[in-house]
Amino acid sequence: MFLPAIHAETDTAVLLQFIRENPLGIVITGIQSSQLDFLQCSHVPFVLDLPDESGGAGPLGRLRGHIAKQNPQVKAIIEAVDNKPPNVLELDDDVLVLFNGKHDHYVTPKFYVETKPDTGKVVPTWNYSAVQIYGKMSLRYDSKSPETDAFLAKQLHDLSEHTERSILGYTGGDKPQPWKVNDAPDRYIELMKRNIVGIEIRINKIEGKFKMSQEKPPGDRDGVVKGFARLGTEAGEAISALVQSRGEMHDRKKQEMKERE
């Protein structure tokens, strides 16, 4: 990921919260295979464990998820790992996981009300937010193992709890009750677990960016804020708010640096 300082987010707590709010990650691996493509990716909804929440987490936490046994990425991992232990396979090389923000948008030069009328030296761009992690991935593939069964049971429970409550807002009371794994027949859940593998990724590095027009002069930024707000769409309103907040944050940091000089 290209990380200009003006767009980079360096607060680890902010980046981890971003993952919790946007749990669908894209897992990317590069594995030499005799039959499969070198580059593989899978979309995986993740549960995030912080270091103080699990002794097995990496220095920045751990991601837990599951993917289908028939996924070619799983087959490539199994093929790549020699001397397989009874239950857990671990890749030697890091994997990359990318998380994208809920909203991104094309930015028209018409929004730049300061620079466009003055010089015309403006071009389109795209505003977006993203976080990426690097880490060591382990694969739990033996569905008959009690350890794998326990891992999958906990992961499925934790994932449904997070997505039902935090994503959909199903918290009970005046709102609908969340769906729970045990709402489905036990036999059906056991059958489903036989067809998936558990994955966990110990996070060793995390990076993120909010590309939200921070580099533009205040007049242009104000034009972007108002331009997106005028669209009258959910995405437009969300990007408008992000451009506003990220611009104010940039200005505060810039002022603090001047005061320290």
Q: Which domains does the chain have, with CATH numbers?
A: 8-104+128-212 (2.30.110.10)
3-state secondary structure of 119: coil
**Residue 52, pLDDT above cutoff 90:** no
**How far, in Å, CA of 57 to CA of 45, rounded?**
18
Map tokens 């995390």 to a residue: 206
What is the pLDDT at residue 23?
A: 98
* pTM for the structure as a whole: 0.93
Tokens in use for 204? 């060793």
- Output the pLDDT for position 254: 86
Residue 244 DSSP code = H
Per-residue pLDDT at 204 exceeds 60? yes
% of the chain surpassing 70 pLDDT: 95
Residue 89, pLDDT score: 87
Task: Flag whether pLDDT at 83 surpasses 60.
Answer: no
- Cα(66)–Cα(199) distance, integer angstroms: 6
223-261 confidence digits (pLDDT tens): 999 999 999 999 999 999 999 999 999 999 888 888 887
Flag whether pLDDT at 194 surpasses 90: yes
Whole-number mean pLDDT of the chain? Answer: 93
Buried-exposed string 242-255: b where 16+ CB fall within 10 A, e elsewhere: bbbebbeebeeeee
Where does the pLDDT of residue 86 fall: very low under 50, low under 70, confident under 90, or very high at 90 and above?
Answer: low
User: Which amino acid does the sequence have at 171?
Assistant: T
| Burial (CB count within 10 angstroms: exposed 0-12, middle 13-18, buried 19+), residue 155 | buried
Q: Is the separation of the CB atoms in 76 and 96 below 8 Å?
A: no
